[in-house]
Amino acid sequence: MIKTITKWVKKEILLVISWVLAIVSTCIVPLDKFYIEYIDWKTLGLLFSLMAVMAGLKEMGVFQAFGESLLLKVKSKRAVESVLVLLCFFSSMIITNDVALITFVPFALEVLTMANLKKHIIPVVVMQTVAANLGSMLTPIGNPQNLYLYSKSGMSLEDFLITVLPYVILSFFLLVIFFMYRKNEPVGHILKNSENNNIKKIK
């Protein structure tokens, strides 16, 4: 029993920490009838609906198929890295930063491994994480924080986009500068066919 509980705690450590902090917060701010008003049900409902739709599209393989179609056209290490990172940057604007990372980080690991570019995994995954968070700030649905701020601010979509667009453009150019300093060597990499699990070489 103890081993089972310990195993579960290790597996769900973030959930456990969240519950502990929630309990501690109730000691600081005692429970009362106003607690239910603290929950923004509208934002939670929108977030749940968005994540449900994105999860469905992910299970259908829509995002991975899109990523594979782009990778078929690249011919250098720099291009492979750029596509993998910018996929997270741009897709996070629509499918949220979390879904972008859940979708394209495993995809990147698979592609880099098959392309014999394992030594590039750490910088690529780090930059994917950075790119997903930078790109997601453009739209209200890019991340939960934006959805909450957009809902509470009363701003129009146009005003919201205009406000954050300069920062997104700056972020994009910083990513471009990063890739300018990466080695640009030809690469014949391999991509697994997602339909029949055959291996095919991209020339």
Q: What is the pLDDT of residues 5-58, one digit of tens each?
A: 888 778 888 788 888 888 888 788 777 776 677 676 776 777 677 677 767 777
| Predicted local confidence at residue 188, as pLDDT | 56
- Bridge-based pairing of strands 190-192 and 199-201 is antiparallel
Please list, in sequence order, all residues whose beta carbon lies within 8 angstroms of the beta carbon of residue 64, skipping any fewer than 6 positions away: 103, 107, 194
Domain spans, the chain: 1-38, 40-201
Are 83 and 107 a contacting pair, CB within 8 Å? no
Are 169 and 139 a contacting pair, CB within 8 Å? no
* Beta strand spans in the chain (E): 190-192, 199-201
Rounded average pLDDT per 10-residue block, the chain, 203 residues: 79 83 81 70 72 74 68 78 91 86 82 79 93 93 85 87 93 92 67 40 39
| Predicted local confidence at residue 43, as pLDDT | 67
For tokens 């990063």, the residue is 178
| Predicted local confidence at residue 67, as pLDDT | 61
